[in-house]
Structure 1
Amino acid sequence: MDIGLSSASFYPHVNTEDSIALMKNLGFKIGEIFLNSDSEYEEDFGKLLLQQKLENDFIINSIHAFSSSFEPYLFDRYKRRRDDAFLKFKKVCKLAKLLGARCYTFHGMRCGKLHEIHGNFIFDIYNKLTYTAGEQGIKLCQENVFWCLSSNTDFLYELKEKCTEPIYFTLDIKQAYRAGKTPEEYIDVMGSAVENLHVNDRDGENSCLLPGKGNVDYKKILCKLKEIGYNKVGIIEVYSDNYKNYCQLKEAKDYIYNICNS
């Protein structure tokens, strides 16, 4: 498994366009680009990122939008608000294609009660989103996020069953524990549709740490992923206050790589 890094790990101290060279200099050849503002969805900004990608011989595995700014409103009951959000979604998909990304890491709806959700309405929108992403050659990867509806495994089951267009998943380790579940529980639901992995650590006091700084049993998780045939990439995604210097990010990469190959 390749080990990559998310540019979100530098927020808010490093501009997105400067993160690619930084990740490459730290020994990462692949990663996820987190777009931090609406202006970063524009084609001109995408061309700037593409230039950095090519100059640094870097692989962009996935794109992650500033999701709270529009993704929840893709499911809004007010059509005009929904349509405006969809325009942003299309921009992100086109930018992902420009950068050669495989995946769009998607948060989607905020938490809600399943019985209060108009099922067909929600799944029709998911079909529209997955189709639109697919037109650009991008896999829409629903991430399990503790403050979103996607933290609910019953919802993820329904998503797989009721969507007529293919839906994929980003598994995030810390988000699983924050939701009071284990990563293995989400793997059971997501199955072979897992296309992206966010790697982080935790302990009894901290919900997000650098890999190797907590008590996550990576061997157990990786064995479970191996059972479903996942051997793509593990993207280290932490917060900038989870480390003191960049060398620690490289150490975390080596730590996970050694477990993957032990």
Structure 2
Amino acid sequence: MEIGLSSASFYPKVNTENSIALMKKLGFNIGELFLNSPSEYDEDFIKLLLEEKDKNSFKVNSIHGFSSSFEPFLFDSYKRRREDMFIYFKKICKAAKLLGAECYTFHGMRRQDLSFVDHKFIVEIYNKLVYTAMEEGIKLCQENVSWCMSADVKFLKMIKEECQYPLYFTFDIKQSYKAKVEPEEYIDIMDSRIMNFHINDRDEKNLCLLPGKGNVTYRNLFNKLNEKGYSGSGIIEVYSNNYLNYDELIDAKKFLIGFL
């Protein structure tokens, strides 16, 4: 497993186009790019990111969109709204392909009572999304997110089993604790379909910390992922207020390497 970094860890202090050179400078050769506004989905902007990627010999592992602005509405009951949001979805899939990414980290629907969800309708939407990503050679990776339907392990099981095409997953440690679900429970549901791994830490007072600053039992998590055959990267993803200086990001990487 190679330890990488998410550009989301710099938000909102560093523009996306400047994040690749910064990650490389800090000793990271791989990472996830967070596209922070709709204009950053445009092909001209993606070509700028591609130049930065090539110039810095950096590998883009995955792409993450400004998800709250459109992904929940891909499942809206109003067809025209769904179709308009699908334009953004396709742009991100194309961006991922241009940048050589393997995964699109996806949030999806806002959380609601699973008993009120139209299962057939939801699965049809997922089939469309997964197939569209596949056409670009991208794996759609549903992330477990506390404020989304994906916080519910029963929902994850449903879409995994009922989708016509293979749906993959991004597992995020902090989001499991925010949802009050043990990380191992998500890993068991996602199983061998985990393609991306967001690493962070936490303690009794803080839901997100840099790795090594809290009480997450990484050895147990890494062993669990190994049991599932996970061979992807480990992407440090925290908030910019979780550290005071960039040296702390470097130290977090060194800490995690000790578990590999």
Matches of 1:55 and 1:160, distance apart in 2: 38
Q: How does 1:53-64 map to 2 (within 5 A)?
A: 53-64=53-64
Q: How does 1:175-190 map to 2 (within 5 A)?
A: 175-190=175-190
Match of 1:150 in 2: 150
Matches of 2:58 and 2:91, distance apart in 1: 22
Match of 2:68 in 1: 68
Aligned residue pairs: how many?
Answer: 260
C-alpha deviation, 1:96, in angstroms: 0.5
Q: Deviation digits for residues 36-89 of structure 1, max 9, x if unmatched?
A: 000000000000000000000000000000000100000000000000000000
1:93 corresponds to which letter in structure 2?
C
Q: How does 1:217-236 map to 2 (within 5 A)?
A: 217-236=217-236
Match of 1:52 in 2: 52
Match of 1:38 in 2: 38
Q: Deviation digits for residues 177-216 of structure 1, max 9, x if unmatched?
A: 1111111110010000000000000000000000000000
Match of 1:85 in 2: 85
Match of 2:16 in 1: 16
2:153 corresponds to which letter in structure 1?
T
3-state SS, counterpart of residue 216 of structure 1: coil
TM-score using structure 2 length: 1.00
C-alpha deviation, 1:18, in angstroms: 0.1
2:55 corresponds to which letter in structure 1?
E
Match of 1:122 in 2: 122
Match of 1:7 in 2: 7
Matches of 1:199 and 1:26, distance apart in 2: 17
Matches of 2:189 and 2:145, distance apart in 1: 14
| Residue 245 (str. 1) matches residue 245 (str. 2) | yes
1:161 corresponds to which letter in structure 2?
E
1:55 corresponds to which letter in structure 2?
K
3-state SS, counterpart of residue 62 of structure 1: strand
TM-score using structure 1 length: 0.99
3-state SS, counterpart of residue 53 of structure 1: helix
Match of 2:204 in 1: 204
1:45 corresponds to which letter in structure 2?
F
| Residue 195 (str. 1) matches residue 175 (str. 2) | no
3-state SS, counterpart of residue 160 of structure 1: helix
| Residue 96 (str. 1) matches residue 112 (str. 2) | no
Q: What is the Cα-based RMSD across aligned positions, in Å?
A: 0.4
- Identity among equivalent positions (%) equals 64
C-alpha deviation, 1:232, in angstroms: 1.2
Match of 1:159 in 2: 159
- Structure 1, unpaired ranges of 5+: none
